[in-house]
Protein backbone atom coordinates (compact mmCIF):
# COMPACT_ATOMS: atom_id res chain seq x y z
CA UNK A 1 0.00 0.00 0.00
CA UNK A 2 2.82 2.36 0.90
CA UNK A 3 4.51 1.55 -2.39
CA UNK A 4 1.30 2.26 -4.30
CA UNK A 5 0.88 5.59 -2.53
CA UNK A 6 4.47 6.53 -3.25
CA UNK A 7 4.10 5.57 -6.89
CA UNK A 8 0.88 7.55 -7.21
CA UNK A 9 2.46 10.59 -5.62
CA UNK A 10 5.48 10.33 -7.88
CA UNK A 11 3.23 10.05 -10.92
CA UNK A 12 1.29 13.14 -9.92
CA UNK A 13 4.47 15.15 -9.41
CA UNK A 14 5.75 14.00 -12.80
CA UNK A 15 2.47 14.97 -14.46
CA UNK A 16 2.50 18.35 -12.73
CA UNK A 17 6.01 18.99 -14.03
CA UNK A 18 4.77 18.56 -17.61
CA UNK A 19 2.11 21.27 -17.23
CA UNK A 20 2.79 24.94 -17.97
CA UNK A 21 2.43 27.51 -15.18
CA UNK A 22 -1.13 28.33 -14.19
CA UNK A 23 -2.52 31.19 -16.25
CA UNK A 24 -4.14 33.74 -13.93
CA UNK A 25 -5.29 36.04 -16.73
CA UNK A 26 -8.93 35.17 -16.04
CA UNK A 27 -8.54 36.26 -12.41
CA UNK A 28 -6.82 39.51 -13.35
CA UNK A 29 -9.39 40.49 -15.98
CA UNK A 30 -12.00 42.24 -13.87
CA UNK A 31 -14.47 45.04 -14.26
CA UNK A 32 -13.22 48.51 -13.52
CA UNK A 33 -15.12 49.97 -10.58
CA UNK A 34 -15.51 53.56 -9.43
CA UNK A 35 -16.15 53.96 -5.70
CA UNK A 36 -17.30 56.82 -3.51
CA UNK A 37 -15.34 58.31 -0.63
CA UNK A 38 -16.40 55.44 1.69
CA UNK A 39 -15.81 52.65 -0.80
CA UNK A 40 -19.43 52.30 -1.96
CA UNK A 41 -19.92 51.35 -5.58
CA UNK A 42 -20.81 54.32 -7.78
CA UNK A 43 -20.47 52.70 -11.18
CA UNK A 44 -18.90 49.50 -12.55
CA UNK A 45 -17.79 48.98 -16.15
CA UNK A 46 -17.90 45.80 -18.20
CA UNK A 47 -14.67 44.06 -19.13
CA UNK A 48 -13.21 44.39 -22.61
CA UNK A 49 -15.30 41.42 -23.78
CA UNK A 50 -18.54 42.71 -22.25
CA UNK A 51 -18.72 40.78 -18.97
CA UNK A 52 -19.72 42.03 -15.54
CA UNK A 53 -16.96 40.78 -13.28
CA UNK A 54 -16.74 42.87 -10.14
CA UNK A 55 -13.85 42.43 -7.69
CA UNK A 56 -14.97 40.59 -4.58
CA UNK A 57 -13.49 38.73 -1.65
CA UNK A 58 -14.71 36.49 1.13
CA UNK A 59 -14.97 39.47 3.47
CA UNK A 60 -17.39 41.15 1.05
CA UNK A 61 -20.09 38.47 1.15
CA UNK A 62 -22.56 37.23 3.71
CA UNK A 63 -20.89 34.62 5.98
CA UNK A 64 -24.05 32.53 5.78
CA UNK A 65 -23.65 32.34 2.01
CA UNK A 66 -20.10 31.02 2.45
CA UNK A 67 -21.30 28.40 4.92
CA UNK A 68 -24.06 27.32 2.54
CA UNK A 69 -21.61 27.21 -0.38
CA UNK A 70 -19.26 24.91 1.49
CA UNK A 71 -22.10 22.71 2.74
CA UNK A 72 -23.43 22.22 -0.77
CA UNK A 73 -20.27 22.18 -2.87
CA UNK A 74 -17.39 21.10 -0.65
CA UNK A 75 -18.13 20.37 2.99
CA UNK A 76 -14.52 19.37 3.72
CA UNK A 77 -13.07 22.46 2.00
CA UNK A 78 -11.35 23.71 5.14
CA UNK A 79 -9.58 20.38 5.70
CA UNK A 80 -8.46 18.94 2.37
CA UNK A 81 -5.38 19.89 0.35
CA UNK A 82 -7.20 20.60 -2.89
CA UNK A 83 -8.60 17.13 -3.53
CA UNK A 84 -11.17 15.43 -1.30
CA UNK A 85 -10.32 11.67 -1.21
CA UNK A 86 -13.76 10.72 0.11
CA UNK A 87 -15.48 12.78 -2.55
CA UNK A 88 -13.26 11.26 -5.22
CA UNK A 89 -14.07 7.71 -4.06
CA UNK A 90 -17.79 8.52 -4.06
CA UNK A 91 -17.60 9.91 -7.60
CA UNK A 92 -15.62 6.87 -8.78
CA UNK A 93 -18.19 4.49 -7.29
CA UNK A 94 -21.03 6.34 -9.00
CA UNK A 95 -19.20 6.19 -12.32
CA UNK A 96 -18.62 2.43 -12.02
CA UNK A 97 -22.23 1.83 -11.05
CA UNK A 98 -23.72 3.95 -13.83
CA UNK A 99 -21.11 3.62 -16.55
CA UNK A 100 -20.76 7.39 -16.82
CA UNK A 101 -19.68 10.37 -14.76
CA UNK A 102 -22.55 11.24 -12.42
CA UNK A 103 -20.79 13.39 -9.86
CA UNK A 104 -17.41 14.90 -10.58
CA UNK A 105 -16.27 14.96 -6.98
CA UNK A 106 -14.82 18.39 -7.62
CA UNK A 107 -13.78 20.49 -4.68
CA UNK A 108 -14.08 24.26 -4.72
CA UNK A 109 -10.35 24.40 -5.38
CA UNK A 110 -10.73 22.09 -8.36
CA UNK A 111 -13.54 24.30 -9.65
CA UNK A 112 -11.23 27.30 -9.38
CA UNK A 113 -8.65 25.39 -11.41
CA UNK A 114 -11.27 24.66 -14.07
CA UNK A 115 -12.38 28.30 -14.17
CA UNK A 116 -8.80 29.48 -14.54
CA UNK A 117 -8.17 26.99 -17.37
CA UNK A 118 -11.60 26.26 -18.88
CA UNK A 119 -11.96 23.07 -20.95
CA UNK A 120 -15.07 21.62 -22.52
CA UNK A 121 -14.50 17.90 -22.03
CA UNK A 122 -15.62 15.92 -18.97
CA UNK A 123 -13.02 13.17 -18.92
CA UNK A 124 -10.71 11.48 -16.47
CA UNK A 125 -7.75 13.33 -17.95
CA UNK A 126 -9.53 16.65 -17.41
CA UNK A 127 -10.29 15.68 -13.81
CA UNK A 128 -6.69 14.65 -13.29
CA UNK A 129 -5.49 18.00 -14.56
CA UNK A 130 -7.91 19.83 -12.25
CA UNK A 131 -6.75 17.75 -9.29
CA UNK A 132 -3.10 18.50 -9.96
CA UNK A 133 -3.85 22.20 -10.43
CA UNK A 134 -5.92 22.20 -7.23
CA UNK A 135 -3.04 20.79 -5.22
CA UNK A 136 -0.79 23.43 -6.75
CA UNK A 137 -3.24 26.17 -5.82
CA UNK A 138 -3.52 24.92 -2.25
CA UNK A 139 0.24 25.00 -1.88
CA UNK A 140 0.37 28.52 -3.26
CA UNK A 141 -2.65 30.23 -1.70
CA UNK A 142 -4.54 30.31 1.58
CA UNK A 143 -8.07 28.96 1.83
CA UNK A 144 -9.44 32.51 1.94
CA UNK A 145 -7.54 33.46 -1.21
CA UNK A 146 -8.91 30.39 -3.00
CA UNK A 147 -12.42 31.38 -1.93
CA UNK A 148 -11.75 34.87 -3.28
CA UNK A 149 -10.86 33.35 -6.65
CA UNK A 150 -14.03 31.26 -6.72
CA UNK A 151 -16.24 34.18 -5.73
CA UNK A 152 -14.75 36.24 -8.56
CA UNK A 153 -14.68 33.59 -11.31
CA UNK A 154 -17.88 31.58 -10.75
CA UNK A 155 -20.35 31.93 -13.66
CA UNK A 156 -23.92 33.03 -12.98
CA UNK A 157 -25.46 33.10 -16.43
CA UNK A 158 -25.17 35.42 -19.38
CA UNK A 159 -22.34 37.90 -18.94
CA UNK A 160 -22.36 37.67 -15.14
CA UNK A 161 -19.23 36.37 -13.44
CA UNK A 162 -18.65 36.43 -9.74
CA UNK A 163 -21.07 36.50 -6.85
CA UNK A 164 -20.96 40.28 -6.50
CA UNK A 165 -22.05 40.89 -10.09
CA UNK A 166 -24.82 38.30 -9.68
CA UNK A 167 -26.04 39.86 -6.44
CA UNK A 168 -26.33 43.28 -8.06
CA UNK A 169 -27.96 41.87 -11.20
CA UNK A 170 -30.56 39.70 -9.45
CA UNK A 171 -31.09 41.46 -6.12
CA UNK A 172 -29.87 45.01 -6.72
CA UNK A 173 -27.48 45.02 -3.77
CA UNK A 174 -24.07 44.03 -2.48
CA UNK A 175 -23.78 40.38 -1.37
CA UNK A 176 -22.83 41.43 2.16
CA UNK A 177 -26.37 40.94 3.47
CA UNK A 178 -28.37 38.16 1.81
CA UNK A 179 -31.57 36.44 2.77
CA UNK A 180 -31.59 32.65 3.04
CA UNK A 181 -33.37 32.37 -0.31
CA UNK A 182 -30.97 34.78 -2.02
CA UNK A 183 -27.91 32.97 -0.70
CA UNK A 184 -29.32 29.59 -1.75
CA UNK A 185 -29.96 30.81 -5.30
CA UNK A 186 -26.44 32.17 -5.61
CA UNK A 187 -25.07 28.81 -4.42
CA UNK A 188 -27.15 26.93 -6.99
CA UNK A 189 -26.55 28.95 -10.15
CA UNK A 190 -22.87 28.21 -10.94
CA UNK A 191 -23.54 24.46 -11.31
CA UNK A 192 -25.50 25.13 -14.49
CA UNK A 193 -25.55 28.90 -15.00
CA UNK A 194 -27.22 29.02 -18.42
CA UNK A 195 -30.03 26.53 -17.81
CA UNK A 196 -30.82 27.96 -14.36
CA UNK A 197 -30.79 31.66 -15.19
CA UNK A 198 -33.70 33.05 -13.17
CA UNK A 199 -34.35 35.79 -15.74
CA UNK A 200 -34.93 33.13 -18.42
CA UNK A 201 -35.71 29.90 -16.60
CA UNK A 202 -37.22 30.90 -13.25
CA UNK A 203 -38.72 27.48 -12.58
CA UNK A 204 -35.39 25.73 -13.10
CA UNK A 205 -33.77 28.30 -10.84
CA UNK A 206 -36.42 27.70 -8.18
CA UNK A 207 -35.91 23.93 -8.24
CA UNK A 208 -32.15 24.33 -7.99
CA UNK A 209 -32.65 26.65 -5.04
CA UNK A 210 -34.90 24.03 -3.40
CA UNK A 211 -32.10 21.46 -3.53
CA UNK A 212 -29.70 23.85 -1.87
CA UNK A 213 -32.23 24.73 0.82
CA UNK A 214 -32.80 21.04 1.58
CA UNK A 215 -29.06 20.52 2.03
CA UNK A 216 -28.82 23.66 4.15
CA UNK A 217 -31.58 22.45 6.46
CA UNK A 218 -29.99 19.02 6.76
CA UNK A 219 -26.67 20.62 7.66
CA UNK A 220 -28.30 22.67 10.40
CA UNK A 221 -27.45 26.01 8.79
CA UNK A 222 -31.08 27.16 8.83
CA UNK A 223 -34.15 26.24 10.83
CA UNK A 224 -37.20 24.59 9.31
CA UNK A 225 -39.13 27.86 9.57
CA UNK A 226 -36.34 29.80 7.86
CA UNK A 227 -36.21 27.30 5.02
CA UNK A 228 -40.00 27.35 4.70
CA UNK A 229 -39.96 31.15 4.46
CA UNK A 230 -37.13 30.99 1.92
CA UNK A 231 -39.14 28.63 -0.27
CA UNK A 232 -41.95 31.19 -0.37
CA UNK A 233 -39.64 33.98 -1.48
CA UNK A 234 -40.10 34.64 -5.21
CA UNK A 235 -37.26 34.00 -7.63
CA UNK A 236 -36.17 37.16 -9.46
CA UNK A 237 -37.39 37.00 -13.05
CA UNK A 238 -35.50 39.99 -14.45
CA UNK A 239 -32.06 41.46 -14.11
CA UNK A 240 -31.66 44.78 -12.39
CA UNK A 241 -29.46 47.62 -13.65
CA UNK A 242 -26.06 48.06 -12.08
CA UNK A 243 -25.38 51.22 -10.06
CA UNK A 244 -24.82 54.23 -12.27
CA UNK A 245 -24.15 57.14 -9.94
CA UNK A 246 -22.05 60.07 -11.14
CA UNK A 247 -21.77 58.47 -14.60
CA UNK A 248 -20.07 61.44 -16.26
CA UNK A 249 -17.39 61.76 -13.60
CA UNK A 250 -16.88 58.00 -13.54
CA UNK A 251 -16.35 57.92 -17.29
CA UNK A 252 -13.90 60.78 -17.08
CA UNK A 253 -11.64 59.24 -14.44
CA UNK A 254 -11.70 55.82 -16.12
CA UNK A 255 -10.80 57.34 -19.49
CA UNK A 256 -7.85 59.10 -17.90
CA UNK A 257 -6.49 55.96 -16.20
CA UNK A 258 -7.92 52.91 -18.02
CA UNK A 259 -5.34 50.59 -16.50
CA UNK A 260 -6.51 51.38 -12.96
CA UNK A 261 -9.17 48.82 -12.05
CA UNK A 262 -10.46 50.56 -8.93
CA UNK A 263 -10.79 54.29 -8.47
CA UNK A 264 -12.03 55.97 -5.33
CA UNK A 265 -13.55 59.43 -5.59
CA UNK A 266 -14.33 62.16 -3.08
CA UNK A 267 -18.02 61.93 -4.02
CA UNK A 268 -20.53 60.86 -1.37
CA UNK A 269 -22.87 58.23 -2.83
CA UNK A 270 -25.81 59.23 -0.63
CA UNK A 271 -25.61 62.88 -1.60
CA UNK A 272 -25.04 61.95 -5.23
CA UNK A 273 -28.13 59.74 -5.32
CA UNK A 274 -30.28 62.37 -3.59
CA UNK A 275 -29.17 65.17 -5.90
CA UNK A 276 -29.60 63.06 -9.03
CA UNK A 277 -33.15 62.29 -7.91
CA UNK A 278 -33.75 65.96 -7.17
CA UNK A 279 -32.45 66.94 -10.61
CA UNK A 280 -34.74 64.41 -12.29
CA UNK A 281 -37.80 65.58 -10.40
CA UNK A 282 -37.17 69.26 -11.10
CA UNK A 283 -36.34 68.72 -14.77
CA UNK A 284 -39.53 66.73 -15.31
CA UNK A 285 -41.50 69.56 -13.73
CA UNK A 286 -39.81 72.17 -15.92
CA UNK A 287 -40.12 70.52 -19.31
CA UNK A 288 -39.11 67.64 -21.59
CA UNK A 289 -35.98 69.20 -23.11
CA UNK A 290 -34.41 70.61 -19.96
CA UNK A 291 -31.47 69.27 -18.05
CA UNK A 292 -29.96 70.25 -14.72
CA UNK A 293 -26.35 70.15 -13.59
CA UNK A 294 -25.30 70.30 -9.93
CA UNK A 295 -21.86 70.49 -8.36
CA UNK A 296 -21.17 70.35 -4.61
CA UNK A 297 -17.67 71.08 -3.30
CA UNK A 298 -16.09 71.21 0.14
CA UNK A 299 -14.86 74.75 0.74
CA UNK A 300 -12.08 73.63 3.06
CA UNK A 301 -10.53 70.94 0.87
CA UNK A 302 -11.80 71.56 -2.64
CA UNK A 303 -13.15 68.01 -2.71
CA UNK A 304 -16.16 67.43 -4.95
CA UNK A 305 -18.88 65.76 -2.89
CA UNK A 306 -21.47 65.45 -5.67
CA UNK A 307 -21.40 66.02 -9.42
CA UNK A 308 -24.60 65.74 -11.44
CA UNK A 309 -23.69 66.22 -15.09
CA UNK A 310 -27.24 65.84 -16.36
CA UNK A 311 -30.70 64.59 -15.54
CA UNK A 312 -30.67 61.14 -17.14
CA UNK A 313 -27.53 59.69 -18.67
CA UNK A 314 -29.55 57.58 -21.12
CA UNK A 315 -32.07 60.28 -22.11
CA UNK A 316 -31.03 61.49 -25.57
CA UNK A 317 -33.80 64.08 -25.57
CA UNK A 318 -32.11 65.81 -22.65
CA UNK A 319 -28.61 65.16 -24.04
CA UNK A 320 -28.06 63.08 -20.92
CA UNK A 321 -24.68 61.69 -21.92
CA UNK A 322 -23.14 65.17 -21.99
CA UNK A 323 -21.49 66.42 -18.81
CA UNK A 324 -23.07 69.82 -18.38
CA UNK A 325 -20.80 70.73 -15.47
CA UNK A 326 -18.12 71.14 -18.16
CA UNK A 327 -20.32 72.93 -20.70
CA UNK A 328 -19.88 76.60 -21.55
CA UNK A 329 -22.98 78.53 -20.57
CA UNK A 330 -23.96 82.05 -19.69
CA UNK A 331 -23.60 82.56 -15.92
CA UNK A 332 -26.51 84.99 -15.75
CA UNK A 333 -26.16 86.97 -12.52
CA UNK A 334 -23.79 84.49 -10.87
CA UNK A 335 -20.74 86.75 -11.33
CA UNK A 336 -22.32 89.73 -9.56
CA UNK A 337 -20.77 88.87 -6.15
CA UNK A 338 -17.32 89.09 -7.72
CA UNK A 339 -18.10 92.47 -9.28
CA UNK A 340 -19.08 93.82 -5.87
CA UNK A 341 -16.17 92.13 -4.12
CA UNK A 342 -13.60 93.56 -6.53
CA UNK A 343 -15.23 96.97 -6.32
CA UNK A 344 -14.93 96.86 -2.52
CA UNK A 345 -11.39 95.57 -2.80
CA UNK A 346 -10.43 98.49 -5.02
CA UNK A 347 -12.10 101.11 -2.85
CA UNK A 348 -14.82 101.90 -5.37
CA UNK A 349 -17.64 101.13 -2.95
CA UNK A 350 -18.55 99.50 0.35
CA UNK A 351 -21.68 97.65 1.50
CA UNK A 352 -23.50 100.85 2.46
CA UNK A 353 -22.56 102.86 -0.65
CA UNK A 354 -25.72 104.17 -2.28
CA UNK A 355 -26.04 103.19 -5.92
CA UNK A 356 -28.53 104.25 -8.55
CA UNK A 357 -30.99 101.74 -9.88
CA UNK A 358 -32.56 103.75 -12.69
CA UNK A 359 -32.59 103.65 -16.50
CA UNK A 360 -29.06 104.25 -17.73
CA UNK A 361 -27.48 104.14 -21.18
CA UNK A 362 -23.88 103.08 -21.76
CA UNK A 363 -23.38 103.92 -25.41
CA UNK A 364 -25.60 101.48 -27.28
CA UNK A 365 -26.01 99.27 -24.21
CA UNK A 366 -29.14 99.85 -22.14
CA UNK A 367 -29.35 97.26 -19.32
CA UNK A 368 -32.64 96.49 -17.60
CA UNK A 369 -33.66 94.67 -14.46
CA UNK A 370 -35.28 91.29 -14.76
CA UNK A 371 -38.67 92.57 -13.64
CA UNK A 372 -38.29 95.70 -15.83
CA UNK A 373 -38.74 97.84 -12.69
CA UNK A 374 -36.33 100.11 -10.79
CA UNK A 375 -35.64 100.68 -7.10
CA UNK A 376 -34.12 104.16 -7.26
CA UNK A 377 -31.30 104.78 -4.78
CA UNK A 378 -30.30 101.56 -3.06
CA UNK A 379 -27.36 100.40 -0.95
CA UNK A 380 -24.79 98.09 -2.49
CA UNK A 381 -25.78 95.47 0.07
CA UNK A 382 -29.45 95.55 -0.92
CA UNK A 383 -28.66 95.82 -4.62
CA UNK A 384 -26.78 92.55 -4.48
CA UNK A 385 -29.38 90.91 -2.28
CA UNK A 386 -32.04 91.82 -4.84
CA UNK A 387 -29.73 90.93 -7.73
CA UNK A 388 -30.38 94.28 -9.40
CA UNK A 389 -28.72 94.70 -12.77
CA UNK A 390 -28.17 98.47 -13.01
CA UNK A 391 -26.05 98.88 -9.84
CA UNK A 392 -23.90 95.90 -10.85
CA UNK A 393 -23.30 97.39 -14.29
CA UNK A 394 -22.46 100.75 -12.68
CA UNK A 395 -19.76 99.13 -10.53
CA UNK A 396 -18.46 97.06 -13.44
CA UNK A 397 -18.19 100.23 -15.52
CA UNK A 398 -16.09 101.85 -12.81
CA UNK A 399 -14.01 98.71 -12.36
CA UNK A 400 -13.53 98.06 -16.08
CA UNK A 401 -14.71 94.92 -17.92
CA UNK A 402 -11.22 93.92 -19.04
CA UNK A 403 -9.85 94.29 -15.54
CA UNK A 404 -12.69 92.19 -14.17
CA UNK A 405 -12.10 89.44 -16.73
CA UNK A 406 -8.38 89.44 -16.01
CA UNK A 407 -9.02 88.79 -12.33
CA UNK A 408 -11.32 85.89 -13.14
CA UNK A 409 -8.79 84.39 -15.54
CA UNK A 410 -6.01 84.87 -13.00
CA UNK A 411 -8.13 82.80 -10.62
CA UNK A 412 -8.12 79.94 -13.14
CA UNK A 413 -11.47 80.42 -14.86
CA UNK A 414 -11.50 79.74 -18.60
CA UNK A 415 -13.74 82.41 -20.08
CA UNK A 416 -15.28 82.24 -23.56
CA UNK A 417 -16.27 85.44 -25.33
CA UNK A 418 -18.40 85.97 -28.46
CA UNK A 419 -16.49 85.71 -31.70
CA UNK A 420 -17.10 89.28 -32.80
CA UNK A 421 -13.56 90.05 -31.70
CA UNK A 422 -14.48 93.23 -29.89
CA UNK A 423 -13.36 94.29 -26.45
CA UNK A 424 -15.40 92.86 -23.57
CA UNK A 425 -18.39 95.01 -22.73
CA UNK A 426 -20.49 95.63 -19.68
CA UNK A 427 -22.85 92.79 -20.60
CA UNK A 428 -20.31 90.33 -19.18
CA UNK A 429 -21.58 91.26 -15.72
CA UNK A 430 -25.06 90.02 -16.60
CA UNK A 431 -24.17 86.80 -18.36
CA UNK A 432 -22.59 87.98 -21.60
CA UNK A 433 -19.78 85.43 -21.54
CA UNK A 434 -19.31 81.67 -21.27
CA UNK A 435 -18.05 79.79 -18.23
CA UNK A 436 -18.40 76.23 -17.00
CA UNK A 437 -20.21 75.20 -13.86
CA UNK A 438 -16.97 73.63 -12.64
CA UNK A 439 -15.07 76.91 -12.99
CA UNK A 440 -17.88 78.89 -11.40
CA UNK A 441 -17.96 76.50 -8.47
CA UNK A 442 -14.22 76.88 -8.04
CA UNK A 443 -14.63 80.66 -7.95
CA UNK A 444 -17.32 80.39 -5.27
CA UNK A 445 -15.17 78.04 -3.22
CA UNK A 446 -12.51 80.75 -3.42
CA UNK A 447 -15.05 83.34 -2.29
CA UNK A 448 -15.93 81.22 0.73
CA UNK A 449 -12.21 80.79 1.49
CA UNK A 450 -11.65 84.52 1.74
CA UNK A 451 -10.44 84.93 -1.83
CA UNK A 452 -8.11 81.92 -2.04
CA UNK A 453 -8.90 79.76 -5.06
CA UNK A 454 -7.99 76.08 -4.86
CA UNK A 455 -8.34 73.35 -7.50
CA UNK A 456 -11.39 71.16 -7.22
CA UNK A 457 -10.48 67.54 -6.65
CA UNK A 458 -12.60 64.48 -7.37
CA UNK A 459 -10.13 61.69 -6.59
CA UNK A 460 -9.30 60.67 -3.05
CA UNK A 461 -5.91 61.53 -1.59
CA UNK A 462 -3.11 59.30 -2.74
CA UNK A 463 -4.83 58.44 -6.00
CA UNK A 464 -4.12 61.58 -8.00
CA UNK A 465 -6.15 64.32 -9.54
CA UNK A 466 -8.88 63.68 -12.01
CA UNK A 467 -7.43 65.73 -14.84
CA UNK A 468 -3.76 66.44 -15.43
CA UNK A 469 -4.38 69.64 -17.37
CA UNK A 470 -7.17 71.67 -18.91
CA UNK A 471 -8.39 70.13 -22.12
CA UNK A 472 -10.83 71.15 -24.86
CA UNK A 473 -14.29 69.76 -24.28
CA UNK A 474 -17.63 69.75 -26.02
CA UNK A 475 -19.14 73.23 -26.05
CA UNK A 476 -22.79 74.05 -25.70
CA UNK A 477 -22.43 77.77 -26.24
CA UNK A 478 -23.49 77.53 -29.88
CA UNK A 479 -21.79 78.96 -32.96
CA UNK A 480 -21.46 82.41 -31.41
CA UNK A 481 -18.94 81.34 -28.79
CA UNK A 482 -15.20 81.45 -29.26
CA UNK A 483 -13.27 78.19 -29.50
CA UNK A 484 -11.17 78.49 -26.37
CA UNK A 485 -9.83 75.61 -24.23
CA UNK A 486 -12.37 74.82 -21.58
CA UNK A 487 -11.14 74.61 -17.97
CA UNK A 488 -12.33 71.49 -16.26
CA UNK A 489 -12.15 72.67 -12.68
CA UNK A 490 -10.38 69.40 -11.86
CA UNK A 491 -6.74 70.18 -12.63
CA UNK A 492 -3.71 68.98 -10.72
CA UNK A 493 -2.34 71.21 -7.99
CA UNK A 494 -0.94 74.22 -9.86
CA UNK A 495 2.06 76.28 -8.94
CA UNK A 496 1.35 78.87 -6.24
CA UNK A 497 1.60 81.67 -8.80
CA UNK A 498 -1.03 80.17 -11.09
CA UNK A 499 -4.11 81.01 -9.02
CA UNK A 500 -3.56 84.15 -6.95
CA UNK A 501 -6.33 85.18 -4.58
CA UNK A 502 -9.38 86.69 -6.27
CA UNK A 503 -9.36 89.43 -3.65
CA UNK A 504 -7.09 90.75 -0.98
CA UNK A 505 -10.06 90.51 1.37
CA UNK A 506 -10.20 93.79 3.22
CA UNK A 507 -11.83 94.19 6.58
CA UNK A 508 -15.32 93.91 5.08
CA UNK A 509 -14.85 90.26 4.25
CA UNK A 510 -13.80 89.51 7.81
CA UNK A 511 -16.86 91.21 9.27
CA UNK A 512 -19.94 89.49 10.58
CA UNK A 513 -21.88 90.87 7.63
CA UNK A 514 -20.33 88.53 5.09
CA UNK A 515 -22.96 85.80 5.21
CA UNK A 516 -25.90 88.19 5.32
CA UNK A 517 -24.44 90.06 2.38
CA UNK A 518 -24.21 87.07 0.06
CA UNK A 519 -27.95 86.67 -0.43
CA UNK A 520 -29.52 86.62 -3.86
CA UNK A 521 -33.09 86.66 -5.03
CA UNK A 522 -34.51 86.43 -8.51
CA UNK A 523 -37.55 88.55 -7.70
CA UNK A 524 -38.34 91.40 -5.38
CA UNK A 525 -39.07 90.17 -1.83
CA UNK A 526 -42.26 91.07 -0.05
CA UNK A 527 -42.11 93.41 2.89
CA UNK A 528 -38.97 92.95 4.98
CA UNK A 529 -38.29 89.49 3.61
CA UNK A 530 -34.78 90.55 2.62
CA UNK A 531 -33.73 91.21 6.18
CA UNK A 532 -35.35 88.11 7.68
CA UNK A 533 -34.52 85.52 5.07
CA UNK A 534 -31.91 82.84 5.55
CA UNK A 535 -28.48 84.06 4.45
CA UNK A 536 -27.51 80.59 3.32
CA UNK A 537 -30.03 80.22 0.50
CA UNK A 538 -29.65 81.84 -2.85
CA UNK A 539 -31.00 81.96 -6.35
CA UNK A 540 -30.03 83.59 -9.62
CA UNK A 541 -31.90 84.54 -12.71
CA UNK A 542 -30.20 84.03 -16.02
CA UNK A 543 -29.46 86.64 -18.68
CA UNK A 544 -32.57 85.37 -20.44
CA UNK A 545 -35.20 82.71 -19.88
CA UNK A 546 -33.06 80.03 -21.49
CA UNK A 547 -30.39 79.91 -18.80
CA UNK A 548 -30.77 79.51 -15.10
CA UNK A 549 -28.10 79.41 -12.39
CA UNK A 550 -28.20 79.23 -8.66
CA UNK A 551 -25.34 79.25 -6.21
CA UNK A 552 -24.35 79.86 -2.65
CA UNK A 553 -21.04 80.33 -0.92
CA UNK A 554 -22.00 78.37 2.18
CA UNK A 555 -24.93 76.07 2.64
CA UNK A 556 -26.40 73.43 4.86
CA UNK A 557 -27.74 70.66 2.66
CA UNK A 558 -30.47 68.34 3.86
CA UNK A 559 -30.49 65.17 1.80
CA UNK A 560 -32.90 62.41 2.79
CA UNK A 561 -33.16 63.89 6.25
CA UNK A 562 -29.42 64.22 6.90
CA UNK A 563 -27.91 67.67 7.27
CA UNK A 564 -24.37 68.29 6.10
CA UNK A 565 -21.80 70.53 7.71
CA UNK A 566 -22.27 74.18 6.63
CA UNK A 567 -19.04 74.35 4.69
CA UNK A 568 -20.14 73.33 1.22
CA UNK A 569 -20.28 75.40 -1.92
CA UNK A 570 -22.90 74.07 -4.26
CA UNK A 571 -23.93 75.27 -7.67
CA UNK A 572 -26.72 74.17 -9.89
CA UNK A 573 -28.04 75.30 -13.20
CA UNK A 574 -30.68 74.26 -15.67
CA UNK A 575 -29.09 74.49 -19.10
CA UNK A 576 -31.71 74.06 -21.77
CA UNK A 577 -31.42 71.99 -24.90
CA UNK A 578 -32.32 73.07 -28.41
CA UNK A 579 -33.35 76.56 -27.32
CA UNK A 580 -36.18 75.42 -25.06
CA UNK A 581 -37.85 78.21 -23.10
CA UNK A 582 -38.43 77.97 -19.37
CA UNK A 583 -41.08 80.66 -19.45
CA UNK A 584 -41.46 83.84 -17.41
CA UNK A 585 -42.87 82.17 -14.31
CA UNK A 586 -40.37 79.33 -14.04
CA UNK A 587 -37.10 81.19 -13.74
CA UNK A 588 -36.29 80.79 -10.07
CA UNK A 589 -34.36 77.89 -8.58
CA UNK A 590 -33.44 77.33 -5.00
CA UNK A 591 -30.15 75.74 -4.06
**Angstrom distance (rounded) from CA 297 to CA 448:** 11
pLDDT score at 87: 60
Q: List, as one string, the DSSP characters of 198-257.
A: TTT-HHHHHHHHHHHHHHHHHTTSS-HHHHHHHHHSPPP-SPPPPP-SSHHHHHHHHHH-
**Angstrom distance (rounded) from CA 454 to CA 49:** 40
Left (φ > 0), alpha (ψ -120 to 50) or beta: where does 271 sit?
Answer: alpha
**Angstrom distance (rounded) from CA 313 to CA 112:** 37
Comparing CA positions, the residue from 295, 298, 323, 299 lying closest to residue 309 is 323
Query: Collapsing DSSP states into helix, strand and coil, what is residue 376?
Result: strand
Left (φ > 0), alpha (ψ -120 to 50) or beta: where does 207 sit?
Answer: alpha
Question: Which of these is catalytic: 333, 465, 522, 591?
Answer: 333
Any bridge partners for residue 571, and if so which? 295, 551
Indicate the angle between helix axes 63-73 and 108-116, nearest 10 degrees: 90
Domains and CATH numbers, the chain: 2-232 (1.10.3810.10), 269-573 (3.40.710.10)
Task: State pLDDT tens for residues 359-401.
Answer: 999 988 999 988 888 899 999 989 988 989 999 999 999 999 9
Question: Which of these is catalytic: 31, 73, 167, 307?
Answer: 73
The mean pLDDT value for 533-561 works out to 38
Q: Are strands 376-379 and 33-35 parallel, antiparallel or unpaired?
A: unpaired
The mean pLDDT value for 222-226 works out to 95
333 is catalytic: yes
**Angstrom distance (rounded) from CA 142 to CA 340:** 66
CA torsion sign for 25, 27, 32, 38 is negative
Question: What 8-state DSSP symbol labels residue 557?
Answer: -
> Rounded to whole angstroms, what are the CA distances from 536 to 342, 556, 560, 562?
21, 7, 19, 17
Q: Between 579 and 334, where is the model more confident?
A: 334
Task: State pLDDT tens for residues 235-281.
Answer: 999 999 999 999 999 999 999 999 999 999 999 999 999 999 999 99
φ, ψ (nearest 5 deg) of residue 572: -140, 155
Q: What is the pTM of this model?
A: 0.78
Task: State pLDDT tens for residues 131-171.
Answer: 899 999 999 999 999 999 999 999 999 999 999 999 999 99
**Angstrom distance (rounded) from CA 142 to CA 313:** 42
Neighbour tally for 240: CB within 10 Å: 14
The mean pLDDT value for 417-442 works out to 87
Any bridge partners for residue 44, and if so which? 33
Mean pLDDT of the chain: 78
179 is catalytic: no
CA terminus-to-terminus distance, the chain: 82
Amino acid sequence: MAALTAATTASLFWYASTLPPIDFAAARDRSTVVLDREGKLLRPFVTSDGRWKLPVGADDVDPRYLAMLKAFEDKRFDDHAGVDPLGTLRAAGQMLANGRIVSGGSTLTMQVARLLEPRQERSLSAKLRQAVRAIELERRFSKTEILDLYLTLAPFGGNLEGVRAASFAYFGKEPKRLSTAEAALLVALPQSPETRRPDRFPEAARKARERVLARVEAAGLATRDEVAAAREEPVPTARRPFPNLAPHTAEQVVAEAPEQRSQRLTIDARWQASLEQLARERAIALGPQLSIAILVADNETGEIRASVGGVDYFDAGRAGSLDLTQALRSPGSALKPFIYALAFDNGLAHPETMLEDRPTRYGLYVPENFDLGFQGMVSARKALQLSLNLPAVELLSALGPQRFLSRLKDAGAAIAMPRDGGAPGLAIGLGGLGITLADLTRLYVGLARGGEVVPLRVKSEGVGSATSSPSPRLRWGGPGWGAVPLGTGLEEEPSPAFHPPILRMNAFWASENFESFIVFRSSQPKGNDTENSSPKRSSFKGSDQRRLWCACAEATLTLRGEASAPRLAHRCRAPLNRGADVGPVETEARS
